[in-house]
Amino acid sequence: MNRVYVCSCFGVTEKQVKEHADAGACTPRQIASACKAGTDCGSCVRRIQAILGRGNCPRRELVEQGMPALGSTPAGLAEEFSEEFSEELSEAA
């Protein structure tokens, strides 16, 4: 099977970039966070942009609002903060 490398610096394939995109990565920066592609010489960033395209991204709306697109959901973040804050209050008492 032929592997089409997008990022030679880190050996990231087109298939891997598509998998990260399917998992919610909408931007080259999010791809870079997931697998380092585009963080060394940068020659692959345009190819990553082409793979991501301008199509619908289920989490693009979150990114545009300044919220994290990967990881916890906003509700999950609020729950984590609430638990963390209540633990701090308990320790202070």
Q: Which of 14-18, 43-47, 57-61 has the lowest mean pLDDT?
A: 57-61
Cα–Cα dist 32/74, whole Å: 22
Question: Per-residue pLDDT tens for 10-40?
Answer: 999 999 999 998 888 888 999 999 999 999 9
Mean pLDDT of 74-87: 46
* Number of residues in the chain: 93
Half-sphere exposure of 31 (CA within 13 A, CB side): 29
Cβ-proximal residues to 84 (8 Å cutoff; 6+ apart), any chain: none
